[in-house]
Structure 1
Amino acid sequence: MIRSHKKLSFVLGMFLAAGLASCSEPQASDNAQEKPAGTIESEKLNFTLDTLYSDFENPWGMTWLPDGRMLVTERKGEILIFKDDAFTGEKLTGVPEVHAVNQAGLLDIAIHPDYESNGWIYLAYAKDMNNGGVLTISRAKLDGNALVDLEELIVNMPEWQGGRHFGTRIVFDKDNYLYYANGDKGSRPENAQELNNSHGKIHRIHDDGRIPSDNPFVDVDGAVASIWTYGNRNPQGMIYDADNNRLWSVEHGPKGGDELNLIEKGKNYGWPEVTYGIDYDGTIITEDTEKEGMESPVSYWVPSIATCGMTLVTSDKYPNWKGNLLVAALAGQHISRVELDGTTYVGEEKLLNEIGRVRQVSQSPNGFIYAITEATGLMVKIIPQD
């Protein structure tokens, strides 16, 4: 099936708070009233921005424990502990050694949906192997501030030098299947079309690392059995919509052609056979943007905004954003609020323009939205005012 698509049109948001200058003046309101200092007026929701931390070094993933603590990974291999929106000054010990080269290192972190009964924390990271790196999904438990009982669940072969296009995000669905993304490793894009390697794919495993018997390629000779979809260039954002049992991802295009994709079992998302981008040196990768048997994106970005983490707004704290996707933009240095009608793209608004390279945006268990930035090293919290 080839999906319909449309080129994104951007609506500039405004960024006023946290000591950073606005890119434009606030829009006039029909119901003018005094607003808190630093209020940002977006299309559907006014909010302020609270800067919680400003000293990260390449932060990547974030998750919350049931006791209210937040864990944030840094790519170099550290996990910082926050409590009540403040850095405690503590970091987890027992973190596995990582292959921190280029885009590789300690990446995502997630807790099991049944964490309160089983205590499992999941990590995605590159580990050293034969002078290269290999994406590894592991789990461990907490003993105080120490990770213990570390188990490697799956190692995504073959190992690769250079550290490019490792992905990744970890999400669970309603049946506690674990999905994770693995990039194509950059130097060999055809990896994504070949089922005999783990790269350029989204994978599905049981929470203990076993391969589900209904995965689409378990009976294909030579295929990696954990593959759920293929033809995915470098997905760095993924979110599960529990209400509708849908899995969404965003992935980097080359020069242009970042994609928003609805991820469905066994489907081919086209890279590098179809793309809306060109190579970094300006050469044409392919003339094709559609091809029979390959999924077209729900929408795409030209030029690239360098999509990264994403979240689905379900919180009552942001009533006019409910059902929207928030997509972190590295090169764009903003958050894109994407409106959908079911699985159809409707429109988009740019929020927090020029805040810095946004690596991840997440909704906390108590319903607030947080974002972390890469080069500026920030953690911010969006506080609704309406």
Structure 2
Amino acid sequence: MEHIFSLAGLGIALFLFAGCGHVQRQGDTSTGTGIVIHSEKASFYIDTLHTGLENPWGMTWLPEGRFLVTERKGEIWIFDNDQYTGKKLSGFPDVYQRGQGGLMDIQLHPNYAETGWIYVTYAKPGKDGGSTALMRFQLIDNQIDHIETIYQTLPLSAAGIHFGSRITFDKRGYLYFSTGERGIKENAQDLANDMGKIHRLHDDGRIPTDNPFANQPGAKPSIWSYGHRNVQGLTYDAANDVLYATEHGPRGGDELNIIDRGKNYGWPSITYGIDYSGAIISELTEREGMEQPIHYWTPSIATCGLLYYTGDRYPGWKSNLFTGALAGRHMTRIEVINERYIDEEKLLQNIGRVRNIAQSPDGLIYVLTEDPGMVLKLIPVD
């Protein structure tokens, strides 16, 4: 597999750099390995590590240079020192593969060296369809073992949309994962079901006793926040103890939110979008007791994946947020200061449907795309 970024080899010479919003001088090839992209606060080139994926979703790094990439159809691919090994983890259970459903996010336990736990979200099949489940497992060589389903969202549904789902941990070791409302708008406001929520758990699936609805009769005690449509981006800023989420709107109204304990984020009572048919979902964009996004996108860019960058490899990007854009086919860098949106910059315009963005242990940014399905690495240039 060609490892160095090659426009001709991928057949994408026109769309990679066409329409970029910022200066990207194709003639500058000072690295000798690819076209240098000069963005507002960093210069870099793209190293294409692998092509030929279908629907890559999540990625995480194991010790000693290996990393894992999930495919929605239920596969976990193994990379070693940035090269696909030709191997996949074996023993993953069946997934509910319908529409947007399947295997989704993957994250290591914060103390993986001690616990060996790997966490995934996936659409788990059942008698009445499927729903997002949170599972953890350990590895014996490349074999999945000690599987534990630590949370199964309910109710099950035969729908093929709005499963969520991302996973992150905070500095206290609590686990957060997101669920979509499965296409039933009212689910998001109903505390009696798991859909359209962000959930907070202990690492073994136990429910913290200080969760906001833990003692409310009829409410799901795992709920941390509600009123969400379909959160497919979740990241945590440990330095400032801030949980960020990006959420798909309908036609318009994709949101960037700061997630706080017990708050209602409004869907579908308030929205900056309209239905795909053009019908009005709500006349309101604000309502008492419901949170406002710190930023929203109209028209929708179809936000997916979210990274809060903490490394030093791109100094101008430190403490910035990065989100993918499925419909927009780009990556967006977002500046937030004191929890307020300041500005954004489009990067990698027309690269493909950007599904996820992640930071490696050595501080480099990796990008997963669909159509075409690729694993990309951004190499900083001094």
TM-score band by shorter chain is over 0.9
The residue that corresponds to 1:145 in the other structure is: 142
**Separation of aligned partners in 1, 2:167 and 2:95:** 17
The residue that corresponds to 2:327 in the other structure is: 331
- Report if aligned partners of 1:361, 1:372 keep a CA contact under 8 Å in 2: yes
**Separation of aligned partners in 2, 1:69 and 1:342:** 35
Aligned: 1:73 with 2:70: yes
Is the partner of 1:160 in helix, strand or coil?
coil
**Separation of aligned partners in 2, 1:77 and 1:34:** 39
Compute the displacement of 1:34 (Å).
7.2
Is the partner of 1:157 in helix, strand or coil?
coil
- Report if aligned partners of 2:24, 2:38 keep a CA contact under 8 Å in 1: no
**Separation of aligned partners in 2, 1:382 and 1:257:** 29
Cα 1:28–1:197, aligned 2, differ >3 Å: closer, same or farther?
A: closer
Residue of 217, 222, 239 corresponding to 2:218: 222
The residue that corresponds to 1:104 in the other structure is: 101
After TM superposition, where is structure 1 displaced by more than 6 Å over at least 4 residues in a row? none
Question: Among the aligned pairs, what percent are the same residue?
Answer: 53
Residue of 357, 373, 379 corresponding to 1:361: 357
Aligned: 1:264 with 2:260: yes
**Separation of aligned partners in 1, 2:65 and 2:206:** 30
The residue that corresponds to 1:199 in the other structure is: 195
The residue that corresponds to 2:285 in the other structure is: 289
Compute the displacement of 1:134 (Å).
1.5
Compute the displacement of 1:66 (Å).
1.7
Residue of 88, 92, 101 corresponding to 2:89: 92
Cα 1:350–1:124, aligned 2, differ >3 Å: closer, same or farther?
A: same
The residue that corresponds to 1:4 in the other structure is: none
Compute the displacement of 1:130 (Å).
1.3
Is the partner of 2:114 in helix, strand or coil?
helix
Equivalences for residues 6-45 of structure 1 within 5 A: 18-19=6-7, 20=12, 21=14, 22-23=17-18, 27=23, 35-36=30-31, 37-45=34-42
Cα 1:47–1:28, aligned 2, differ >3 Å: closer, same or farther?
A: closer
Compute the displacement of 1:67 (Å).
2.0
Give the letter for the 1:61 counterpart.
G
Residue of 163, 166, 181 corresponding to 1:166: 163
**Separation of aligned partners in 2, 1:134 and 1:162:** 9
Unmatched runs of 5 consecutive residues or more in structure 2: none
Residue of 299, 306, 311 corresponding to 1:310: 306
- Report if aligned partners of 1:274, 1:288 keep a CA contact under 8 Å in 2: yes
> For residues 106-146 of structure 1, what are the alpha-carbon distances to aligned partners after superposition, in whole Å with 9 as ceiling and x for unaligned?
11111100000010001100111113001110111000000
The residue that corresponds to 1:136 in the other structure is: 133
> For residues 196-234 of structure 1, what are the alpha-carbon distances to aligned partners after superposition, in whole Å with 9 as ceiling and x for unaligned?
000000000000000000000011110011000000110
- Report if aligned partners of 1:18, 1:49 keep a CA contact under 8 Å in 2: no
Compute the displacement of 1:35 (Å).
3.1
- Report if aligned partners of 2:24, 2:39 keep a CA contact under 8 Å in 1: no
Is the partner of 1:44 in helix, strand or coil?
coil
**Separation of aligned partners in 2, 1:359 and 1:34:** 28
Give the letter for the 1:245 counterpart.
D
Is the partner of 1:273 in helix, strand or coil?
coil
**Separation of aligned partners in 2, 1:281 and 1:298:** 27
Give the letter for the 1:195 counterpart.
L
The residue that corresponds to 2:274 in the other structure is: 278
- Report if aligned partners of 2:237, 2:243 keep a CA contact under 8 Å in 1: yes
**Separation of aligned partners in 2, 1:379 and 1:57:** 11
**Separation of aligned partners in 2, 1:347 and 1:123:** 32
Give the letter for the 1:120 counterpart.
W
**Separation of aligned partners in 2, 1:293 and 1:34:** 53
**Separation of aligned partners in 2, 1:176 and 1:55:** 36
**Separation of aligned partners in 2, 1:174 and 1:18:** 40
Give the letter for the 2:18 counterpart.
C
Is the partner of 2:373 in helix, strand or coil?
coil
> For residues 298-330 of structure 1, what are the alpha-carbon distances to aligned partners after superposition, in whole Å with 9 as ceiling and x for unaligned?
000000000000111111101000011000110
After TM superposition, the score normalised by the length of structure 1 is: 0.93
The residue that corresponds to 2:177 in the other structure is: 180
After TM superposition, the score normalised by the length of structure 2 is: 0.94
The residue that corresponds to 1:246 in the other structure is: 242
